[in-house]
Structure 1
Amino acid sequence: MPTTASDMSRETSKMADSQHEQQTQGGKGLRHKIAHDEFVKHGDKALAMAEDRVLLTEADSRRICRKTDLNILPLLCWVYFLQILDKSVIGYSAVFGLRQHAGLVGNQYSTIGAVGYYAQLGAQPLAAYLLVKLPVRQMMPAIVFCWGVSLCGMAASNNFGSLVGTRFLLGFFEAACLPLFSLVTISWYRRSEQPLRVAAWYGTNGVATMLGSAISYGLGHINSSVLYSYQIIFLVFGLITVITAPILYFRLDNSIVSARFLSEDDRKKGVERLRANNTGVVNTEFKWKQVLELFIEPKTWLFLAMSFCVNVGASVSNVFGPLILQGLVGFSSYTAILLNIPFGALQLIVILASSWAAYKFKTKSWIFGMAMVPVVIGVAILYALPHEKSNQGGLLVGYYLIAFVFSANPLIVSWMSANTAGATKKAAAFTAFNAASSAGNICGPYLFKSTDAPDYYPGLKAVLAIFCVLVGLVALQAVNLAYLNKRKEKQRVANGKPAKITDRSMTNKYEAEDEAKDASLGQMAFLDLTDGQNDEFQYLL
């Protein structure tokens, strides 16, 4: 029978696992030399490239990174901007009569805000599988087109049932967005470069808030005898998203191995510069044992708990931000929309600042913890300060301080990506992260019940407690990762390697001479081993 692509992928994976088994069974100083022609025969171009180590200079590394920034990063930023805009447009529409014109009563608006996250939660297992099996160039345009059509469907909705249905589809097709973007980032960039790149596309949260508020303000003034203001808003944003899909297909590349904007020589160098990551490049076999490893690790559950806590708070501003400004702080509809623009600017600033600090100081935990302090203070102000007109300034400051929470998700994403290896394990990790994020976004709106309006004291009290717990989780994860690094040192010594090795993936410059000194290391970088299996993997605090 002819050999299929999946058969070749499985054979390549078995070879990688066989190499790992030989190493763990104890040959001291064993080098993982795998023949180039074997990988070519099995159709694994990435591993074939990785086998022949090429000379890579700092100038080469910078040039390849710059080309990647010009060709891949803008696409990620634009699509993530659309995803955030399309998701949060429900909040702007509420200010322009969505609840009244669609006849929403009780907690129906909360249900519409949350149902998209139910869809995301349910879609994560399928998303994890597709992220491993489908090329990026096919998957990203497909999901973008489908969620754009869903948003256009919301424009045709004029009652609770139709709004719930189209919002559910919107959430379902957006489900793979953040995991996909996370995987793309770690597949193209060194670990030291990842925080700023994650910040670049995730920072469009703030841009979407600013531009979404401004555009919605303008669209809300359109007088139409056919469409309500909220329907115009949905339709405009939906059509922009639909048009983006074919552009993505023609502009996007699947991986650095097949990048059309790089020469054949630069593709090899691009693979080489990612070797120190120890997280691989491409593998299309879905490995259940990697999923099992992921979910028996305490660090996974700590990351998921952080994601849940963060997004409970983030959902408050996404869905209820304009309503809080209108009701709790006491501003008119149009003023509430305009005052959300500085909130978006602050989002962008804190995302970029915290990610730059993570890049500069090569750590995540203490930066993460410090960034959450203003959030705790902001929620405490909203809860403690009397909700009176004389306190508008103080309440507005409290609301703006909540913007610091948007620094959390990019920090968690880059923290997780730096501490997870294995193609299936990474895909499962990011979809699990998105599931926890969805759970937080589901719970968040329900903390703010319509019966508690306009003060929302019970919801604010609950969010305050959740953010205090979050700070504790960050500290606990730092301790856990430090312990795992100590265990890795013992594992290396048992395998005949130095206990202490330099994590070159976290250096700002690519030093070819330093890499050459460690030529005996890095042989397992592209074998699709997990962080638990690879003794050369180092966890980042």
Structure 2
Amino acid sequence: MSTSSLQDKKDFTMSGKEGRQTTLQPYSLPKGEEHSELASSIDREAERKLLRKIDWNLMPLIMMLYLASFLDRSNIGNAAAAGMSTSIGLKGYELNVATSLLFVTYIIFEPPTTILLRIVGPSKLIPIIVIIWSIITIATAFVKTYGQLVACRLLLGLAESGLFPCLTLYLGQFYYRNEQAKRTALLFVSAALSGAINGLLSYGIIHIRGGSLVPWQWLYVIEGLISLCVGIAAIFFLPDRIEKARFLNPEEKALALKRREINEMWAGAEQKFQWSEVTKALKDGKLYLSGLSQFGMDTALYGFGTFLPVIVKQLGFNTVQAYLLTIPVYVLGAGTFLVNAVISDRIEKRAVFILSFAPLTVIGYAILVAPGLSNGVYLFACFLVSAGMYTVIGLNLVWLNVNQAGHYKRASALGFQQAMGNSAGILAGQLYQSRWSPHYQIGHGISLGCMILCIIGAVGHTLWLRRENAKRDAMSAEEVERILSEGGGEEKMGDFSPTWRYRY
């Protein structure tokens, strides 16, 4: 690579020392002339039609997959409210311990499962994951003892562990990095709506009478069967790669392959697995800042998402009212995140949304911690918590994903970040113990502290990325060329390349 061509590439991908503003249109991919020529050959109207077709054919199924995972993971709270604890004789903290133990196997198996996605293939691995956990969910309906419940929760955590990072990686092969937030938003919309759907299902199921099963058992059976149907559908409708998508015609496949070629300039999607990519991810400081934020966010999410029916019920509402009142809380969280994700993709900013909406959740928890307020005020605080929570969690994951280059480095980083975040589930399961009812101020207080931790991590993450970009902006063309030569080139260096610019 000549110095002059390198300087041209630098001008395309970064601000020069003279103060020129970065021009990374149309898709903010860090690759200069090669990307520019290929991207300019794409018919934008045809591309828009292609994206709509991919969205309509892939996203509903992917949303259903993630919705099913949250239904089956968090329905223990609804089952407890419907009488499971009494039926199997749970005592003391046993419900909380069973809730937490799911995340032990979840965090252990999350990174390796994520790495397996490319090796096994999405159309095989993802349906296998879903079908296995569906069977475990149905089996939970027939537990008779605390030990059997614990075994089912551990197995469920193992089965579900890889789904979310695998789905995130899967979407990365169809969408550019400035198109991913709104699609990831749909996953978190599914997570939020799972709470609402769980409430509606629980409301209907507790009225089932007859047969040999009681309502909480029907809850596990029906939700497990829903997941099983979705898993079977994934076998037939989830293509491994875009060229195998049966819903695209030859012209659309050709355009999709051209987009993938552009995408792989930053994604490094064709590289073979090497342990050095895993090591590279573990040496990346931004992984730990993102993981710190994710831990704080997930502590709040899992406590809130699992125990919201119990929290609302303790405010003086009966079981049916509690189920119904959780629905608008979840819908608000889903709607807020969807709007924010669309805007976030459009302006290619993540940190500003995280640092703007995390304080809403902090305020909500501050109200829940305050003693002596009316039940109406406490219920309003639940809406505040939800309004900020889903935006913060979803965009934090997108933020890490779009700042990783090299498929296996990104896969490793996402797996480890999710493992760090999901370890919060062990703590979250202990936050809402019956001895702290009716207002659960200790649980809310810990969640409040964890959301403040999330803000600290997000600020640190932003400053880290700004510093790295500034260091690369200050490099001369000769210095950039030297570093690339020593590092083996842009593809091998990934986002550690001096021509890469981080998004925040």
Q: Where on the TM-score scale, by shorter chain, does this alignment land: which range?
A: 0.7 to 0.9
After superposition, residues 234-313 of structure 1 pair within 5 angstroms as 234-274=220-260, 275=262, 278-280=265-267, 282-283=269-270, 285-313=272-300
| Unmatched 5+ stretches in structure 1 | 1-22, 32-49, 498-523
1:413 CA displacement = 1.7
Aligned-partner residue type, residue 291 of structure 2:
L
Match of 1:19 in 2: none
Aligned-partner residue type, residue 402 of structure 1:
V
Match of 1:537 in 2: 500
Q: Tell me, in whole angstroms, the C-alpha distance in 1 between the residues paired with 2:472 and 2:209.
A: 65
- For the 8 Å contact 1:421–1:528, the answer to whether it is kept is no
Q: Tell me, in whole angstroms, the C-alpha distance in 2 between the residues paired with 1:133 and 1:490.
A: 40
Q: Tell me, in whole angstroms, the C-alpha distance in 2 between the residues paired with 1:313 and 1:441.
A: 9
1:469 CA displacement = 2.2
- For the 8 Å contact 2:134–2:227, the answer to whether it is kept is yes
- For the 8 Å contact 2:292–2:453, the answer to whether it is kept is no
| Unmatched 5+ stretches in structure 2 | 8-34, 482-488
- Deviates further, 462-471 or 274-283: 274-283
Match of 2:62 in 1: 76
- For the 8 Å contact 2:243–2:253, the answer to whether it is kept is yes
Match of 1:488 in 2: 472
Aligned partner (choices 418, 421, 433) of residue 405 of structure 2:
421
- For the 8 Å contact 2:268–2:406, the answer to whether it is kept is no
Match of 2:5 in 1: 29
After superposition, residues 510-529 of structure 1 pair within 5 angstroms as 527=491
Aligned-partner residue type, residue 290 of structure 2:
F
1:153 CA displacement = 0.8
Q: Tell me, in whole angstroms, the C-alpha distance in 2 between the residues paired with 1:265 and 1:492.
A: 43
Q: Tell me, in whole angstroms, the C-alpha distance in 2 between the residues paired with 1:323 and 1:246.
A: 33
1:230 CA displacement = 0.9
- Deviates further, 90-99 or 58-67: 58-67
Aligned partner (choices 410, 422, 425) of residue 438 of structure 1:
422
Change (3 A) 1:107 1:87: same
Aligned partner (choices 96, 109, 124) of residue 138 of structure 1:
124
Match of 1:125 in 2: 111
1:225 CA displacement = 4.9
Aligned-partner residue type, residue 311 of structure 2:
I
1:237 CA displacement = 0.7
* Corresponding position: 1:402 with 2:385: yes
Q: What is the DSSP-based 3-state SS (H/G/I as helix, E as strand, rest coil) of the residue aligned with 2:269? A: coil
Q: What TM-score comes out, normalization by structure 1 length?
A: 0.81
Q: Tell me, in whole angstroms, the C-alpha distance in 1 between the residues paired with 2:96 and 2:247.
A: 45
Q: Tell me, in whole angstroms, the C-alpha distance in 2 between the residues paired with 1:320 and 1:182.
A: 26
Match of 1:8 in 2: none
Q: Tell me, in whole angstroms, the C-alpha distance in 2 between the residues paired with 1:192 and 1:410.
A: 14
Aligned-partner residue type, residue 83 of structure 1:
S
Count how many residue pairs are aligned between Structure 1 and Structure 2.
468
1:144 CA displacement = 0.8
Change (3 A) 1:281 1:480: closer
Aligned-partner residue type, residue 306 of structure 1:
S
Aligned-partner residue type, residue 484 of structure 1:
E
Residue by residue over 1:92-128, the C-alpha shift from the partner in whole angstroms, topping out at 9 and shown as x without a partner, is 1111011111100111101111111111111123213
- For the 8 Å contact 1:91–1:319, the answer to whether it is kept is yes
Match of 1:466 in 2: 450
Q: Tell me, in whole angstroms, the C-alpha distance in 1 between the residues paired with 2:182 and 2:476.
A: 31
Residue by residue over 1:459-517, the C-alpha shift from the partner in whole angstroms, topping out at 9 and shown as x without a partner, is 222221221222122122111111121233345723678xxxxxxxxxxxxxxxxxxxx
- For the 8 Å contact 2:199–2:324, the answer to whether it is kept is yes
Aligned-partner residue type, residue 494 of structure 2:
T
Q: What is the DSSP-based 3-state SS (H/G/I as helix, E as strand, rest coil) of the residue aligned with 2:267? A: coil
1:295 CA displacement = 1.4
- For the 8 Å contact 1:205–1:347, the answer to whether it is kept is no
Aligned-partner residue type, residue 536 of structure 1:
T
Match of 1:221 in 2: 207
Q: Tell me, in whole angstroms, the C-alpha distance in 2 between the residues paired with 1:472 and 1:146.
A: 38
